[in-house]
Amino acid sequence: MTAAKLRRDIAATIAKLAARGLYFGTAGNISARTATGFLITPTGIPSEDIRPADMVAVDMRGRHKGKLLPSSEWHFHRAIYRDRADVKAIVHTHSTFATVMSCLRRDIPGFHYMVAKAGGPAIRCARYATFGTEALARNAVAALGRRRACLLANHGLIAAGPTLAAARRLAEEVEALCEQYWAALAIGRPVLLPSAEMTRVVVKFRSYGRQPKTD
């Protein structure tokens, strides 16, 4: 995929998340891996004003090209790309319900089988660190492990995937799960699925939705 196409795809991802109310103002950032590093949304520009040309190329040593500065959270994007060869795109939002749960600093347990879509029996909440720091990058990598999503304490969510579309859809799903978990906690005590069942569903999701190859 060309860099020009990736730039357009990042802009389209912002528009889709913004249309659902999950991405607003200067909160959140999105990146996609390139041959030499990654393209990431710029810092300080409101999401509705970001154009494809504004995405900033950052290499794996953290050097950027162009006149715009990359999102202040480029550290955790780089750390995740370094740690995970399978990750090609990362979406970070301050969407409301994920942020609410992150402020409670609690993992999202297996209250619903869809939690396993993020790659584990729970969606972990990373330890708190100041935004834009290497400490936050380390905490995010630790919370993600081999999974595809995590919360960041008192901050928001991270969703990672093999494509921008996959990372965006997972961010939308994690936000929906956080809202559902909040609602369940508000009126009672959610019944958690047994860990054996969550393990079974994690395995099932690895092959779910794949169409059989026709050639």
> Which sequence positions are flagged as catalytic?
73
CB-based contacts of 90: which residues, under 8 Å, 6+ apart? Answer: 30, 31, 32, 77, 80, 81, 158, 159, 160, 167
Distances (CA, A) of 51 to 1, 54, 57, 70: 18, 5, 14, 14
* Cα separation of the two ends of the chain: 23
Q: 181 and 175 in contact (C-beta within 8 Å)?
A: no
Give residue for tokens 């006149």: 67
Q: 193 and 113 in contact (C-beta within 8 Å)?
A: yes
CB-based contacts of 122: which residues, under 8 Å, 6+ apart? Answer: 107, 108, 109, 110, 115, 198
Task: Pull the structure tokens for residue 45.
Answer: 């520009």
Q: 195 and 115 in contact (C-beta within 8 Å)?
A: no
- What type of residue is 125? C
What proportions of the chain, in percent to the nearest 5, are helix, strand and coil?
Answer: 45, 15, 40
